[in-house]
Amino acid sequence: AIPSVLGALAGALLLSVLVSRLTTVRRSPAPPVSGTEEAGDGSPAGEGWDRRGFVLAAASAAAASAAVGVAGRSLNTSRGRDAVASRGRVVLPAPRSPARPVPAGAGPRVPGVSPFLTPNDDFYRVDTALVVPKVDATGWRLRIHGRGVSRPATYAFDDLLRRELIERDITLTCVSNEVGGPYVGNARWTGVRLADLLAECGVRPPSRGGPGDQLVARSVDGMTIGSPVEELMDGRDAMLALGMNGEPLPFEHGFPARMVVPGLYGFVSACKWIEDIEITTFASYDPYWVKRGWARRAPIKTGSRIDTPKPFARPTSGTVMIAGVAWAQHRGIDKVEVRVDDGPWQMAHLAAEDTRDTWRQWSMPWRATRGGHTLTVRATDRTGAVQTDRRTRTLPDGASGRHSVVVTVE
Ligand SMILES: Nc1nc2c(c(=O)[nH]1)N[C@H]1C(S)=C(S)[C@@H](COP(=O)(O)O)O[C@H]1N2
Ligand SMILES: [Mo]
């Protein structure tokens, strides 16, 4: 908001200065018949609105603001130049532990359904950054310290690149995603297993006597994100990611490094532009979003979305493919069902599972009959829990409820 507010204030100030030049002339109640421009009620010539003066003032204001804009932009570019160069030099080594190939049947090839792997440019972005941080990897360091960290350490980017890397497909979800919303994406991440880094620094999870139960990650832009140490070290593929879909992290997604944790919403796990990891406790520190009323702990809720048909679509009667995605990271999706209007729940075809940390695509052919219809989806995760139809808001720990789409078949 700050740039917009400053801009609006500057604009208002300029406008009032310019307008004050206009209003010092008092016009006569009736238009003059003599046709002279200077006609007024007797104000001395040269005072008030002099058209040339006004145009000059306005034009120089426009020129000045354009110059400031150009200067600001070039300042911004030069600030990021070293960072861009450092990203350009990164060569991601082959991971020691590659992701298994995406199963052939993971994509149902239904037009309109989200692709199994979300391209970086289409990947949703949620953060508080007014300006995307452009970090120069050369000078970047990650520090690990805090309670129970018997061997605090600082890592440079190259230290991390030289370690054993893992590569995993993990679906990320934002707690602020409404039912049916767009803030979910699946990428192939490359990085360092976080549990290894933590163990190297002497960190033990609470279940093995560690004194800290919360890991607080800090980013270069001051964001703080708290994750449960227990889950980070319970064997899941929690990682410090350096690569996304085969390239260094895009700046928007956290270059040079970010956290990615299967099964936890981004605001309690996925710190971008990370530079500091502190082991502390949930009792002693509330990170950024928790201070604002969001939950301390937030596992991702089982969810599903209809990607096609789109809301208010007008398909023609006959066979219409209903398709979308369903996710229950780190539990896995076992079943997706679709209901037309108030009919019975019908089993959708589930595309092959990549891992339980990724979403699954699903589809169901529907013999569509003329008229308005409501399509509803629900997923069942591997714990057997059926996605609830109880609607909740996103605050404090994620929306629940089932996604419905209304269509008119013609
Ligand atoms: N530094 C920083 N990291 C952050 C955030 C942020 O605002 N600042 N937002 C978090 C939230 S709420 C989510 S959902 C994920 C989104 O990651 P993405 O933008 O790469 O999709 O980043 C997380 N990491
Ligand atoms: Mo989020």
Nearest CA to ligand 1 atom 16: 126
**271 within ligand 1 shell (Cβ under 6 A):** yes
Last residue of a domain, one of 292, 312, 336: 292
Q: Is the C-beta atom of 223 inside 6 A of ligand 1?
A: yes
Ligand 1, closest atom to CA 289?
A: 12
Q: Which pLDDT score is estimated for 39? A: 45
Q: So what's the pLDDT on residue 143?
A: 98
Given this model, what pLDDT does residue 23 score? 60
Amino acid at 328: A
The pLDDT, as a whole number, for residue 56 is 85
Q: What residue's CA is closest to ligand 1, atom 10?
A: 267
Same structural domain for residues 228 and 312?
no
From 140, 218, 267, 268, the mutation candidate for ligand 1 (largest count of ligand atoms within 8 A of CB) is 267
Question: Is residue 7's pLDDT more than 90?
Answer: no
Give the residue among 301, 263, 271, 264 at the shortest CA–CA distance from 287: 271
**What is the 260 CA–ligand 1 centroid distance (Å)?**
10
Co-location of 274 and 168 in the same domain: yes
Closest-approaching ligand to the CA atom of 399: 2
| Interior/surface letters 242-261, b for 16+ CB within 10 angstroms, e for the rest | bbbbeebbbbebbbbbbbbb
The answer to whether the beta carbons of residues 310 and 405 sit under 8 Å apart is yes
Q: Report the pLDDT value the prediction gives residue 40, as an integer from 0 to 100.
A: 47
Same domain for 202 and 239: yes
- Out of 94-108, 205-219, 260-274, pick the least confident: 94-108
Q: What domain range includes position 194?
A: 104-292
Structure confidence by residue, pLDDT tens digits, 134-155: 999 999 999 999 999 999 999 9
Please tell me whether residues 165 and 270 are part of one structural domain: yes
What is the gyration radius of the CA atoms in the chain, in angstroms? 29
pLDDT of residue 202: 98
- Give domain status of residue 60, yes or no: yes
The count of structural domains within the chain is: 3
Chain segment 298-347, per-residue pLDDT in tens: 999 999 999 999 999 999 999 999 999 999 999 999 999 999 999 999 99
Whole-number percent of the chain with pLDDT over 90: 80
Domain boundary, last residue among 89, 113, 139: 89
pLDDT at 10 over 60: yes
pLDDT at site 57: 83
pLDDT above 90 (res 14)? no
| Long-range contacts from 69-77, C-beta under 8 angstroms, 24+ separation | 76/131
Minimum-distance ligand 1 atom for the alpha carbon of 125: 19
Residue 123 in this model has a pLDDT that exceeds 90: yes
Q: Ligand 2 centre from 268 Cα, in Å?
A: 8
